[in-house]
Amino acid sequence: MTIYEIAKIAGVSASTVSRVINGKPGVNKETRKRVTEYLEKYHYSPNEAARGLVTGSHKMIGVLISDMRTAHHTDGLAYIQKELASQGYLCLIMNTGHGDEDKASYIQQLSQRRVDAVMLIGSTFESQIVGKAISEYIPRTPVVISNGYIDLPNVYGVIADERNGTVECVKHLASQNRKNLAFILDYETPSNLLKVEGFKFGLQQYINNNEVPRIIKTGPDFQGVYDTTRRLMEEHPETDGIIYSEDPLAASGLRALHEGNYAVPSRVAVIGINNSIIAQITTPTLTSLDNMLLELSMTCVRNLIDVLQGKHVVKKMLIYSHLVEREST
DNA sequence: ACTTACAGACGTGATCCAGA
DNA sequence: TCTGGATCACGTCTGTAAGT
Q: What's the CATH number where A168 sits?
A: 3.40.50.2300
Report the C-alpha gap between A312 and A237 in whole angstroms: 54
Confidence of residue A299 (pLDDT cuts 50, 70, 90): very high
In this structure, the answer to whether residues A206 and A299 fall within a common structural domain is: no
In this structure, the answer to whether residues A111 and A76 fall within a common structural domain is: yes
Which amino acid residue lies closest to nucleotide B10, measuring CA to C1'? A50
In this structure, the answer to whether residues A230 and A299 fall within a common structural domain is: no
Confidence of residue A193 (pLDDT cuts 50, 70, 90): very high
In this structure, the answer to whether residues A24 and A127 fall within a common structural domain is: no
**CA/C1' separation A250–C14 (Å):** 58
Query: Using an 8 Å Cβ cutoff, are A122 and A297 in contact?
Result: no
List bases, strand B, within 7 Å of protein CB.
Answer: 10-16
Q: Within a domain: residue A326? A: no
In this structure, the answer to whether residues A169 and A283 fall within a common structural domain is: yes
- Residue A62's domain comprises 56-160+294-319
Check residue A315 and give its pLDDT.
96
Report the C-alpha gap between A30 and A35 in whole angstroms: 9
**CA/C1' separation A23–C8 (Å):** 22
pLDDT tens digits for range A84-132: 888 878 888 999 988 898 999 888 888 877 788 999 998 899 999 999 9
Which amino acid residue lies closest to nucleotide B15, measuring CA to C1'? A15
In this structure, the answer to whether residues A298 and A152 fall within a common structural domain is: yes
**CA/C1' separation A53–B6 (Å):** 21
Confidence of residue A5 (pLDDT cuts 50, 70, 90): confident
In this structure, the answer to whether residues A192 and A234 fall within a common structural domain is: yes
Q: Within a domain: residue A210? A: yes
Using the CA of A26, give the nucleotide whose C1' is nearest.
Answer: C3
The count of structural domains within chain A is 3
Q: Within a domain: residue A274? A: yes
Using the CA of A35, give the nucleotide whose C1' is nearest.
Answer: C4
Burial of A312 (0-12, 13-18, 19+ CB in 10 A): exposed
In this structure, the answer to whether residues A111 and A216 fall within a common structural domain is: no
Q: Within a domain: residue A258? A: yes
**CA/C1' separation A56–C5 (Å):** 25
In this structure, the answer to whether residues A7 and A122 fall within a common structural domain is: no
**CA/C1' separation A4–B7 (Å):** 22
